């Protein structure tokens, strides 16, 4: 295994993702994470303050990875529709390839309160802002409804995809989530165009 501190850090986060997804945040123990990571209990505390710190670190690292991919999409010189479709597809592909993360994101986060909730909002803010940027661009280019509230547009995009991911997690990944991308993106796109 070696003594690479970055590798141990990653190993603990990977184990934390699996253990928390399986047992739930409140039932998971640091000792379970240590066992899954094949490290001593005390080793966990060399890298993380507590279980909460592990959970937040999981999302910080994964969101950073996701945002790097999203940034490429946001910089492409393509239509609003293509950008929205690419963003939706990225989110579905990302979650399907990381089912434990999908479980954490769509079940554990709904139950968090206090500091964890505040940290999650901070971590998710760049993603929410990217969605808002697409909605605003669509409104400016008169692709989306002029009466559309930017915040409602964000809620529509995030809500539809989150519901699809949550259902997929509950169905234990029995079908391809990524294959639903074009249909879900089209639903969002049509909803944002609707004049009321």
Q: What is the CATH number of the domain that holds 134?
A: 1.10.357.10
Same domain, 78 and 134: yes
Cα gap 194→27, rounded to integer Å: 44
Same domain, 63 and 12: no
Same domain, 30 and 85: no
pLDDT in tens, the chain (196 residues): 456 778 999 999 999 999 999 999 989 999 999 999 999 999 999 999 999 999 999 999 999 999 999 999 999 999 999 999 999 999 999 999 999 999 998 877 767 778 888 888 899 999 999 999 999 999 999 999 999 999 999 999 999 999 999 999 999 999 999 999 999 999 999 999 987 6
Same domain, 109 and 163: yes
Same domain, 86 and 180: yes
Same domain, 60 and 113: yes
Same domain, 14 and 88: no
Same domain, 36 and 120: no
Q: How many domains does the chain have?
A: 2
Q: What is the CATH number of the domain that holds 7?
A: 1.10.10.60
pTM for the model stands at 0.91
Same domain, 118 and 178: yes
**Residue ranges making up the domain that contains 131:** 52-193
């Amino acid at each position: 295994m070696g003594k690479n501190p970055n590798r141990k850090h990653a190993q603990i986060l990977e184990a934390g993702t699996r253990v928390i997804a399986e047992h739930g945040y409140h039932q998971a123990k640091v000792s379970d994470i240590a066992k899954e990571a094949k490290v001593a209990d005390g080793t966990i505390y060399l890298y993380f303050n507590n279980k909460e710190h592990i959970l937040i670190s999981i999302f910080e690292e994964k969101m950073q990875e996701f945002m790097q991919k999203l940034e490429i999409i946001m910089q492409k010189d393509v239509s609003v529709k293509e950008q929205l479709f690419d963003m939706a597809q990225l989110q579905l592909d990302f979650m399907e390839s990381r089912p434990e993360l999908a479980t954490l994101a769509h079940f554990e986060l709904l139950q968090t309160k206090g500091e964890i909730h505040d940290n999650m909002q901070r971590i998710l803010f760049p993603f929410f802002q990217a969605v808002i940027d697409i909605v605003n661009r669509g409104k400016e280019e008169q692709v989306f409804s002029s009466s559309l509230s930017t915040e409602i547009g964000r809620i529509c995009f995030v809500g539809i995809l989150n519901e699809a991911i949550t259902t997929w997690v509950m169905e234990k990944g029995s079908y391809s989530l990524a294959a639903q991308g074009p249909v879900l993106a089209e639903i969002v796109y049509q909803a944002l165009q609707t004049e009321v």
